[in-house]
Structure 1
Amino acid sequence: MDAPINAHSFLNFLAYAGTGIGVLILAALAVSMITPHRELSLIRSGNAAAATGFAGTLVGLALPLHSAISNSVSLIDAAIWGAAAVVVQVFAYLIARLVAPKLSQQITDGQVGAGVFYAGVSVSVGLINAAAMTP
């Protein structure tokens, strides 16, 4: 009977998990660079709107990354689909700003409703993005 976890499968886990977390970090940085407000500074100062919005961003990015990793044929395939997910999420944020042009200022001002709206956009687009990546 083979062991449920062997060195090869553990190394694959580390590679996919590392790639997924790496893409998530890079994606979160990319999204935070396009926003006029500074999420991390606002979060550090206790801004609940920024924390809510950024949490939604992370979940919205992680959902398609999960799908990309689950359905990929290789590590490079997962990374490419992960990058595609980032592009879609960036466009989602830009569209949200068209719909709500004062969104960034409202988040900076701590208006939780703006953060919830931003989180909702991120998660809903992330779900659709993830579903579109399944075979």
Structure 2
Amino acid sequence: MTSLATLPGFLTHFIAGIALVWLGGWAYCRITPQDEVALIRQGNTAAAIALVGALVGMAIPIGASVSNSANLLDAAVWGVVAVIAQLLCFFVVVRVLGPGWRDAMEQRNEAAGAIVKAGVSIAVGIVNAAAMSS
């Protein structure tokens, strides 16, 4: 059964990748001024779009760090770099959106700003992942 010989490596890299996405999502929820999880539980579509975009935006370069790494430590280090880059992306996007985006998402459940945040997070994630393979 040589096909299962790489299962331990798969499991460690998979668990590390999932842990990094979870850590990135946790950090994202801590740096944003609103409680996305509470808003989502209340049925706020805009909050769900923004959070899912942030998670996908982090998962793309974390996946690249796992697939391009020499070992588990290398994957973890580059995964943390990916998360930091994605969190910095949030600060840039909210500056562009201006001060009214938070109220629009929280009070009026407007998705426009959330779609921009999600789209930029995913776009930056793709570039972030491509940069890791160079």
Same fold (TM over 0.5): yes
Alignment correspondent of 2:52: 55
Name the counterpart of 1:84. Answer: 81
RMSD: 1.0
Please, which of 64, 67, 81 is the counterpart of residue 67 of structure 1? 64
Other-structure match for 2:23: 26
After superposition, the C-alpha distances for 1:19-64 in whole angstroms (9 at most, x for unaligned) are 0000110110001101001111111111000001111011000000
Deviations 1:82-103 (A, max 9, x none): 0001111111000011101222
Give the CA deviation at 1:3.
2.2
| Mapped contact 1:63–1:130 kept (Cα < 8 A) | yes
**How many Å separate the matches in 2 of 1:104 and 1:89?**
19
**Residue-pair matches, total:** 132
Alignment match of 1:96 (pick from 93, 97, 104): 93
Of 99, 103, 106 in structure 1, the residue corresponding to residue 104 of structure 2 is 106
Counterpart of 1:4 in 2: which secondary structure?
helix
Classify the secondary structure of the residue corresponding to 1:72: coil
TM-score by length of 1: 0.94
Q: CA offsets, 1:75-134, max 9 Å, x none?
A: 010000000011111110000111012222222121111111110111011011001000
In 2: Cα distance, 1:58 partner to 1:44 partner? 17
Amino acid aligned to 2:133: T
1:130: which partner in 2? 129
CA distance in structure 2 between the partners assigned to 1:59 and 1:98 by the alignment: 21
- TM-score of the aligned structures, taking structure 2 as reference length: 0.94
Gapped regions of structure 2 (runs ≥ 5): none
| Percent of pairs with identical residues | 36
Cα distance in 1 between the residues matched to 2:52 and 2:101: 16
